[in-house]
Structure 1
Amino acid sequence: MSDPQEILPNCGVTLHLSIALEDGTVAISTFDEEPLEVIMGDGTLQPGLELALYGLKAGDEQTLNLLPEQAYGLRDRNLIQQMPRTEFGSDFVPEKGQIIAFAMPNGDEAAGQVLSLDEGHVEVDFNHPLAGHEITFKVQILDVSPPQGDASGH
């Protein structure tokens, strides 16, 4: 019987994960839902979260505390933008705390959270909602398939 496949770059991985904030609030969890399927390196998971998975095998469980710079990064003041109220159209009234999807010049979408608003401007934070947080990252590896594009079967 061959050894179970370790998680390597480009492996397919089926897993459950949860991410909890410093106060124990669970921000994301798949444990009561369908498991997540990812290809390592496809951008689904933050690089720091992927690093925590390398070497694990199906059946492994792990809980790690990650600093902001290991997880979703530190908060960046440059990602907080003052936008003219006119950018939102007259029929849309943004509210504090609201998450809004914005079309970027390159065609991608970016989510921003409304921090504050006044007559003329809306302050929008484009930082990832988990940026600046120390997180507890818990994973349960369900299945690992060999790296994509590796025809040797090893």
Structure 2
Amino acid sequence: MATAVQFSSYGNFSSDKFWLLLCVAIALLLSGFTYVIFRIRKRNKQMRDAACREAMENVKETTYTPQIFVEVPARYREVFVQTMEEDLNILNQALQEDRTRAVLSMLHRMHGALVAVGMTEFAQRCELLGRTGGLLGMEDELKKDIKELAQDLMRMVQWQHTI
């Protein structure tokens, strides 16, 4: 009867060529699968990055007519204006401090508020800039676009004060 020491001994293990070949084959298969998975992930990332860059180029070519003069319903106006002013202050501060998560969070939050009051163009800009920042990071060009959005939103908020 074989003991555990005999089974775990390298000499006994390597003398059995079938088991040795099986282990080598399994190791090769695993390394092949790992290589294929990493290549697929790398290709998907490259495709996603290319799609984001193309979307940003399309956005830059599109001229937005900001919905600055869309009136927020009276019953929501006070809360909307106050919240949007606070969110814009937080957004601008986060941009100055290079806090990417805070910027993305504020864009997401403002997107929801803008959808709720029917300002779809502003909401789409928030969503697109947030997704781009999440995928590509906060590049200087993206920061510039976010600052432009913040300025347009501030003009809209100021106009809401006048009505």
Smaller-chain TM-score bracket: under 0.3
Q: With structure 1 as the length reference, what TM-score do the two structures score?
A: 0.24
Name the one with the larger strand percent. Answer: 1
Bigger relative CO (Cα 8 Å, ≥ 6 apart): 1
TM-score of the aligned structures, taking structure 2 as reference length? 0.23
Structure ID, larger Rg: 2
